[in-house]
Amino acid sequence: MYISRHMTSDPITVSPDMLLPEARSLLNDYHFRHLPVVDAQGMLVGMLTDRDLRSAYPSSVISESERRLVYERVEKTAVSEIMSTDCVSVGTDSTLDDALFLFDRDQLGALPVLEDGRVIGIFSNRDLNAAYKNLFGVGEKGAVLIGILDDGSSNIMTRVVTLLEKEEIPFTRVLRIHDKSDGDTIYLRVNTFKIAAVLDLLVDGGFTIKQG
């Protein structure tokens, strides 16, 4: 699945010369945590995060006079002075797996999506979670995840699918997960409110239900 299907298109961006109070207002008003910084041609030049802004503003533990001095400096400070320029980005042909790897490797909260260097979207951790929920059917009405012991037989996937289709049990996902410590498992996303009957059907069909 491609990031382009799940990203926020045409995201709000800021210019390098925008002052910090204005950028802070954008983040607060729209409940963002990341703002791509672009030049006049829409080319990515940096990223500004809520963490960058928090670091720029005065600490609550300093004196009032010191706080006023910091605020005076902040009000005259441009985004370019605190933004990150070493940006990790993705393209429209990047996948959810690509994003997951980058989020984990670089501890990022969002990725700008580029096309010919121009920012056309932004893809966040929240977008990734929503995409995977959709991919694996989490939250679908009546959806239940069932685990079956993978006995290693060459036709076990065929047997499972054939049984469900024969009995007209609606299902949307079939996954085989390899786990050396806990044993291999086949997971079924079944859409039914009669889960007990489905479990009995699988057991009667010679399958072992995995608990937990």
| 118 and 146 belong to one structural domain | no
Q: Which of 75, 102, 133 is the last residue of a domain?
A: 133
The predicted structure's pLDDT at residue 94? 97
Q: Which residue has the higher pLDDT, 177 or 105?
A: 105
Q: Is the confidence at residue 141, as pLDDT, over 80?
A: no
Q: What's the pTM?
A: 0.78
Q: What confidence category does residue 138 fall into, taking pLDDT thresholds of 50, 70 and 90?
A: confident
| 183 and 83 belong to one structural domain | no
CB atoms within 10 A of CB 164: 19
CB atoms within 10 A of CB 13: 18
Q: Which of 133, 151, 168 is the last residue of a domain?
A: 133
Residue 82: CB partners within 8 Å, gap ≥ 6? 20, 48, 52, 53, 55, 56
**pLDDT tens-digit series, residues 96-130:** 999 999 999 999 999 999 999 999 999 999 999 99
In a domain, 155, yes or no: yes
C-alpha–C-alpha distance, residues 131 and 23, integer Å:
28
Structural domains counted in the chain: 2
| 155 and 126 belong to one structural domain | no
Q: Which of 133, 150, 176 is the last residue of a domain?
A: 133
Q: Are the beta carbons of 53 and 23 closer than 8 angstroms? A: yes
Taking alpha carbons only, the member of 32, 59, 58 closest to residue 47 is 32
Percent of the chain with pLDDT over 90: 69
| 59 and 127 belong to one structural domain | yes
